[in-house]
């Protein structure tokens, strides 16, 4: 999948049949890119945008040329998204709807157990690299008989996982410029601002939210390419305002992303970052747009796309096998 990433103040318009994208961020970025109608050579445009404009003609152009558009706000949340409409097979959709609870439990437990195994590997790695002071063991054996039991099981393991990672120290190039004591640790996955992961108060989780969000858009695009309805879940609650199946399928990928972030920031027995890469606003930690763009190349790559496609293909095959 060919992805173009733009940051800062972004403007999109159609001129002479071509898509014109201009982006500007302080004195760091000032560029214009043209995607020609005859050969767009792009599958997905991601805007980490703090403002700008999009003309109505842009959406027609994106649909015509089968290009997805995702706009991510400064908190790492999807502000707007355009996935080119494709025909979703009526047979596939009916199988998604009629999938029995025992089959959903089988699929969901496989995803969750893969996730917990990945989390255990991360905890082992953190201990071996002196980021954690003691070894931690998660429960990787689930013997429940319902989705509700699986949700509780997963929540307990995640609480242990994040409770331990929260203790890992973060160090900065200019310690006196750090605006909050919260920044000196990975910190809780739950923000005190929202009682959820949204609006992170620490740099680690600000980066993680951003990467998780962009990964979810790639999973959604992959599902649409396979003519699967991304709104019909197997574990997460059905929600008219989100693509719940995406949140099911991202589960085993989350610890892979966690690990890549941990290894990227690791320096000796702590994590290390530059304070100027983050913005402190009313207790919330935001990514500098230029720094956010850096993480596309570090983590959001062909290897991740391959992992996403493998998980989506396994789900699609399970639907095909269901009679």
Q: pLDDT tens-digit profile of 158-186?
A: 999 999 999 999 999 999 999 999 999 99
Residue 254, pLDDT score: 97
CB 48 within 8 A of CB 41: no
153: Cβ contacts below 8 Å, ≥ 6 apart: 112, 139, 142, 144
Q: pLDDT tens-digit profile of 259-276?
A: 999 999 998 888 999 999
CB 268 within 8 A of CB 277: no
Categorize the per-residue pLDDT at 224 as very low, low, confident or very high, splitting at 50, 70 and 90.
confident
Residue 323, pLDDT score: 67
Q: pLDDT tens-digit profile of 114-124?
A: 999 999 999 99
Give me the mean pLDDT over the 307-314 stretch. 95
pLDDT of 241 above 80: no
What are the sequence ranges of the domains in the chain? Answer: 3-82, 90-321
Tell me the CATH number of domain 90-321, given options 1.10.3720.10, 1.20.120.920, 2.50.20.10, 3.90.950.20. 1.20.120.920
- Which of the pair, 75 or 137, is modelled with greater confidence? 137
Residue 137, pLDDT score: 97
pLDDT of 283 above 90: yes
Q: Which two tokens stand for residue 67?
A: 């290009």
**Which strands sit side by side in the sheet containing 44-54, from one edge to the other?**
29-35, 18-25, 3-15, 44-54, 68-72, 78-82
Residue 189, pLDDT score: 96
Residue 86, pLDDT score: 67
Give me the mean pLDDT over the 187-199 stretch. 94
Give me the DSSP letters along 231-260. T--SSSPP-TTS-HHHHHHTGGGHHHHHHH
Residue 73, pLDDT score: 80
Gap between the Cα atoms of 185 and 161, Å rounded: 15
Residue 87, pLDDT score: 65
Gap between the Cα atoms of 81 and 287, Å rounded: 20
Categorize the per-residue pLDDT at 25 as very low, low, confident or very high, splitting at 50, 70 and 90.
confident
pLDDT of 22 above 70: yes
Q: Which of 158, 150, 148 is nearest to 118 (CA)?
A: 158
Distance of CA 69 to the CA centre of its chain: 15
pLDDT of 300 above 80: no
Is domain 3-82 annotated with CATH 1.20.1260.10? no
Report the relative pairing of strands 278-281 and 78-82 from DSSP bridges. Answer: unpaired
| Inter-residue long-range contacts of 243-250, CB under 8 Å, 24+ positions, other chains counted | 243/216, 245/96, 246/216, 246/219, 246/220, 247/216, 248/108, 248/111, 249/111, 249/219, 249/223, 249/308, 249/311, 249/312, 249/315, 250/212, 250/215, 250/216, 250/219
Q: pLDDT tens-digit profile of 86-95?
A: 667 778 888 8
């Amino acid at each position: 999948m060919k992805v173009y990433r733009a940051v800062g103040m972004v403007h999109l318009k159609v001129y002479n049949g071509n898509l014109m994208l201009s982006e500007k961020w302080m004195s760091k970025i000032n560029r214009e890119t043209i995607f020609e109608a005859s050969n767009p050579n792009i599958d997905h445009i991601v805007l980490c945008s703090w403002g700008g404009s999009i003309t109505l003609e842009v959406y027609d152009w994106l649909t015509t040329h089968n290009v997805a558009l995702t706009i991510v706000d400064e908190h790492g949340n999807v502000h707007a998204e355009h996935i080119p409409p494709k025909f979703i097979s009526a047979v596939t959709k009916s199988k998604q709807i009629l999938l029995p609870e025992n089959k959903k439990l089988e699929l969901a437990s496989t995803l969750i157990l893969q996730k917990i195994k990945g989390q255990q590997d991360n905890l082992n790695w953190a201990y071996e690299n002196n980021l954690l002071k003691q070894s931690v063991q998660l429960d990787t054996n689930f013997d429940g008989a319902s989705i509700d039991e699986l949700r509780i099981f997963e929540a307990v393991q995640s609480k242990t996982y994040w409770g331990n990672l929260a203790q890992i120290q973060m160090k900065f190039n200019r310690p006196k410029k750090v605006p909050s004591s919260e920044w000196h640790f990975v910190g809780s996955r739950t923000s005190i601002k929202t009682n959820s992961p949204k609006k992170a108060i620490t740099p680690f989780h600000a980066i993680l939210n951003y990467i998780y969000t962009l990964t979810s858009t790639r999973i959604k695009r992959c599902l649409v390419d396979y003519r699967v309805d991304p709104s019909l879940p197997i574990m997460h609650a059905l929600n008219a305002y989100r693509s719940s199946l995406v949140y099911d399928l991202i589960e085993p990928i989350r610890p892979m992303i966690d690990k890549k972030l941990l290894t990227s920031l690791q320096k000796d027995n702590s994590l290390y970052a530059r304070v100027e890469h983050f913005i402190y606003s009313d207790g919330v930690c935001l990514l500098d747009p230029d720094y956010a763009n850096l993480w596309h190349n570090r983590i959001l790559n062909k290897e991740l796309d391959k992992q996403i496609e493998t998980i989506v293909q396994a789900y699609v095959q399970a639907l095909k096998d269901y009679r």
